[in-house]
Structure 1
Amino acid sequence: MQAVNVIYRLAISLWLGGAALFTFVLTPILFRSESRDVAARIVGLFFPGYFRWGLACGVVALICRVIISGKSNFATAAIIVAMLLLCSFQAFYIEPKAAELKRRIVSFETTSKDDPLRREFAKLHGVSAVCNLSVIAGGVVLVILL
């Protein structure tokens, strides 16, 4: 049982750490050091792997949480399920739609912000950002509950 507890803690830590590193360190560095179009292309290349990472960590954590018994089991499992649902929504709905919009937008640097495609992309980006920050917040709560 001790090994399952360690794996659970590791999965949560890797999920939260990966999300925080990508969101608060790597992405801002890319957008500061590269043009908007280049940075967006690079970040877009990372998104499928980023979401697979979150889903893998979440599934491992959930399996471990189900194995581990305790009074906080339901609350932590519910948080993990919510985080997995948000990550799945991003991976299987938002990211493909956003990637398609990015392909249709010639350049974010030269296309007007009033362009319908840019406005649609901005909405998706906003929803994705809320989902991502919610996953990070859930991870912080889970770490506190450790």
Structure 2
Amino acid sequence: MKTPASFLYNLILALWVGGIAMFTFIVTPAIFKAYNRDMAGEIVDKLFPDYFMFNIVVSILALIVFVSFLYQRKSIESAVSIGLIVVALVVNLYVNFKLHPEILRIKKEVSSFQTMPPDAGPRKEFRKLHGISMALNLLLMADGAGLLLLSSLLKK
């Protein structure tokens, strides 16, 4: 990769990984610590559309910048990088357009997380979908970290 493109690509990946880490490990826990569970959920629900769009945009930007310089580097690292970026883009689109709307639909059936029993059907379904969402979020963070590692290998 050429230096300006490499810098831009690494900046995009840093925003990708850092954005996910900040939202996951700092912002969301702080909100749930400061507010009751129902209110915290409402606040986080307001943040999700922008968070998901941010993740889609950074994965598209990473793909554009990487593909623009891929043909200079026909290597296993390049092929794996393209694969990881495409996987991230597909996961981000799935989360934004399928999983999150399904979570919101189920969440409407939960009158209150504080009063509805944890074994109630809607709570169980929400817990399952929320678990999938959390796992995919961590997968996206690991995907971005893997891309950063591969980026350092491409420079050699």
TM-score > 0.5 by shorter chain:
yes
The residue aligned with 1:142 is 147
State yes or no: 1:77 paired with 2:82. yes
1:55 alignment partner AA: I
Which string of whole-angstrom CA distances, capped at 9 and with x for unpartnered residues, describes residues 13-70 of structure 1? 1111111100011111111121000111111111111110000000010011111132
| Aligned partners of 1:79 and 1:138 also within 8 Å | yes
The residue aligned with 2:133 is 128
Larger radius of gyration: 2
1:90 alignment partner AA: V
The residue aligned with 2:47 is 46
1:54 alignment partner AA: N
Residue 107 of structure 2, aligned match among 91, 95, 102: 102
Calculate the TM-score normalised by the size of structure 2: 0.89
The whole-number CA distance in structure 2 between the counterparts of 1:123 and 1:97 is 11
The residue aligned with 2:35 is 34
Structure 1: runs of 5+ lacking an equivalent: none
Structure 2: runs of 5+ lacking an equivalent: 152-156
Q: CA deviation at 1:2?
A: 3.5
The whole-number CA distance in structure 1 between the counterparts of 2:3 and 2:60 is 19
Calculate the TM-score normalised by the size of structure 1: 0.94
Runs of 4+ in 1 over 3 A off after TM superposition: none
2:99 alignment partner AA: I
| Aligned partners of 1:66 and 1:73 also within 8 Å | no
Q: Secondary structure at the match of 1:123?
A: helix
Q: CA deviation at 1:7?
A: 2.1
1:37 alignment partner AA: D
